[in-house]
């Protein structure tokens, strides 16, 4: 075990605790972190993690789950997580698992881990994950600063019966957790793109934290994945499930799955995210893969609203790309199928959640879906403020800037 610097008990946003039983892994992580300005304390067992965390606060913990040779169950790491988080409830724990053990990573996040990376890791992805989690911890610290130490009475009389610094109320603590979770989800959303095509989005959660999330990334040089999901409910549990699902998709962390095959992706995710294991939370999802050479769009859906394709070659100029199917996680063994559509040049694809068109007008009636589609067709895909104008139109329909549900829309134009 490396010697730990216990001289400065104050929080240090640049100091990371690394726990792994393999010396070469610890040293590789130390050098990687050093190159980005982080100091690393290195330990080799869950017991040593507890000793270190109880001695000082860390910006984050990189935590391997396996410490017994030739095992992959992660039982030692999973068992230690509650004690570690009891010592520092806001510590961002990033678990490290072998590629393909997605069930283990999901189980760790259910127990309080914030994120996961796969071994062997990608340096850029690891550092980006770490940066996001360090920022998340800073949000929580700023929202809920540690109280100053109470001063002893000047006359050495008995201490007052009431504390000099009031405790944070349950309501305030919940607000702090919601604000922190909201910052975490927003940090995971991708940057808009302008090349080689345009991708833009807007995200307006109904409460501090909603269940909507979305993402997109290149699978390889020809195939571009784009997806959107909606977790049942709101609040921290829904946000954490959204974050976990996004991580799985972005990292390609499903064993033996071709991420260019949307049906296979949703079939595998369904078994990894069964609602019986997620506190009865489930989610809908639309996942597509666009091939830029052929402009072929392959997609699958698990109970999610169809994507809307504005296509000049289509009848009425609009194609609804949806599929019947159960929400994701409702039944083990459910198989989802891939559908294919060849897009025309100059098309626009809109991914949405139902809160964007299920809008109640001031007189209590619902906004007709046909009018929602007409508004989309009227958008200028090249206009940088097109989605802002669309949201203004929603506010006019609703009669208020606040909506009754999360509002999410992703615009993909080529």
Are residues 124 and 268 located together in one domain of the fold? no
Query: Reduced to 3 states, what is the DSSP secondary structure of residue 298?
Result: strand
Are residues 203 and 336 located together in one domain of the fold? yes
Taking residues 285-308, report their average pLDDT.
97
Q: According to the model, what pLDDT value does residue 167 have? A: 44
Are residues 131 and 204 located together in one domain of the fold? no
Are residues 127 and 232 located together in one domain of the fold? no
Q: According to the model, what pLDDT value does residue 292 have? A: 94
User: Is residue 147 in a domain?
Assistant: no
User: Is residue 155 in a domain?
Assistant: no
DSSP 90-111: T--EEEEEETT-HHHHHHHHHT
Q: Note down the domain range covering 52.
A: 15-142
Query: Reduced to 3 states, what is the DSSP secondary structure of residue 272?
Result: helix
Q: Which of 142, 172, 206 is the last residue of a domain?
A: 142
User: Is residue 183 in a domain?
Assistant: no
Are residues 99 and 211 located together in one domain of the fold? no
User: Is residue 67 in a domain?
Assistant: yes
pTM here?
Answer: 0.70
pLDDT confidence band for 253 (50 / 70 / 90): confident
Q: According to the model, what pLDDT value does residue 151 have? A: 40
Bridge partners, 229 (sequence order): 213, 285
Taking residues 260-272, report their average pLDDT.
95
- Contact between residue 292 and residue 331 where contact means Cβ atoms under 8 Å apart: no
User: Is residue 288 in a domain?
Assistant: yes
Share of the chain above pLDDT 90, in %: 50
- Residue 108 Cα distances to 79, 94, 133, 269, 356, angstroms: 10, 9, 16, 16, 33
Are residues 134 and 228 located together in one domain of the fold? no
Are residues 208 and 106 located together in one domain of the fold? no
Q: According to the model, what pLDDT value does residue 254 have? A: 81
Q: Which of 142, 174, 200 is the last residue of a domain?
A: 142
pLDDT confidence band for 5 (50 / 70 / 90): very low
User: Is residue 319 in a domain?
Assistant: yes
User: Is residue 177 in a domain?
Assistant: no
Taking residues 64-92, report their average pLDDT.
83
Taking residues 225-247, report their average pLDDT.
84
Are residues 30 and 121 located together in one domain of the fold? yes
Number of folded domains that form the chain:
2
Q: Which of 78, 110, 142 is the last residue of a domain?
A: 142
**Residue 262 predicted with pLDDT over 70:** yes
CATH of the domain at 54: 3.40.50.2300
Taking residues 350-377, report their average pLDDT.
93
Are residues 129 and 29 located together in one domain of the fold? yes
**Residue 145 predicted with pLDDT over 60:** no
CATH of the domain at 224: 3.60.40.10
User: Is residue 6 in a domain?
Assistant: no
User: pLDDT tens digit string along 326-337?
Assistant: 999 999 999 999
Instruction: Please tell me the chain's helix, strand, coil percentages from 3-state DSSP, rounded to the nearest 5.
Output: 35, 25, 45
CA 228 to CA 303: how far, in whole Å? 12
Are residues 272 and 392 located together in one domain of the fold? yes
């Amino acid at each position: 075990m490396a010697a730990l610097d216990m001289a400065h008990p104050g929080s240090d946003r640049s100091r990371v605790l690394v726990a792994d039983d393999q010396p070469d892994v610890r040293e590789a992580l130390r050098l990687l972190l050093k190159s980005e300005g982080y100091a690393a304390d290195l330990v080799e067992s869950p017991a040593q993690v507890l000793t270190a965390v109880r001695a000082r606060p860390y910006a984050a913990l990189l935590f391997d789950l396996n410490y017994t040779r030739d095992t992959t169950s992660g039982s030692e790491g999973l068992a230690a997580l509650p004690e570690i988080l009891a010592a520092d409830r806001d510590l961002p724990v990033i678990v490290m698992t072998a590629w393909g053990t997605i069930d283990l990573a999901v189980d760790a996040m259910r127990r309080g881990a914030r994120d996961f990376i796969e071994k062997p890791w990608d340096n850029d992805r690891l550092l980006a994950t770490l940066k996001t989690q360090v920022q998340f911890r800073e949000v929580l610290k700023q929202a809920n600063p540690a109280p100053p130490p109470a001063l002893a009475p000047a006359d050495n009389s008995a201490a007052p019966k009431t504390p000099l610094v009031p405790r944070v109320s349950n309501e305030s603590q919940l607000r702090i957790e919601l604000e922190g979770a909201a910052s975490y989800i927003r940090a995971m959303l991708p940057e808009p793109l302008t090349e080689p095509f345009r991708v833009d989005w807007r995200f307006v959660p109904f409460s501090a934290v909603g269940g909507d999330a979305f993402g997109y990334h290149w699978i390889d040089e020809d195939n571009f994945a784009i997806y959107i999901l909606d977790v049942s409910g709101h609040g921290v549990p829904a946000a954490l499930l959204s974050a976990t699902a996004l991580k799985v998709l972005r990292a390609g962390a499903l064993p033996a799955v071709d991420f260019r095959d949307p049906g296979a992706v949703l079939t595998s995710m369904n078994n990894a995210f069964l609602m019986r294991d997620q506190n009865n939370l489930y989610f809908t999802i639309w996942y597509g893969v666009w091939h830029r050479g052929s402009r072929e769009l392959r997609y699958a859906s698990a109970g999610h609203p169809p994507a809307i394709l504005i296509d000049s070659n289509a009848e009425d100029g609009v194609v609804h790309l949806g599929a019947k199917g159960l929400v994701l996680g409702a039944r083990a063994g459910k198989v989802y199928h891939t559908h294919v559509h060849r897009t025309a040049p100059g098309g626009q694809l809109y991914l949405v959640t139902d809160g964007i068109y299920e809008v109640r007008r001031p007189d209590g009636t619902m906004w007709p879906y046909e009018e929602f589609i007409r508004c989309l067709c009227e958008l200028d895909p090249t206009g940088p403020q097109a989605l802002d104008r669309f949201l203004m139109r929603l506010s006019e329909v609703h009669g208020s800037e606040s909506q009754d549900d999360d509002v999410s829309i992703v615009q993909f134009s080529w």
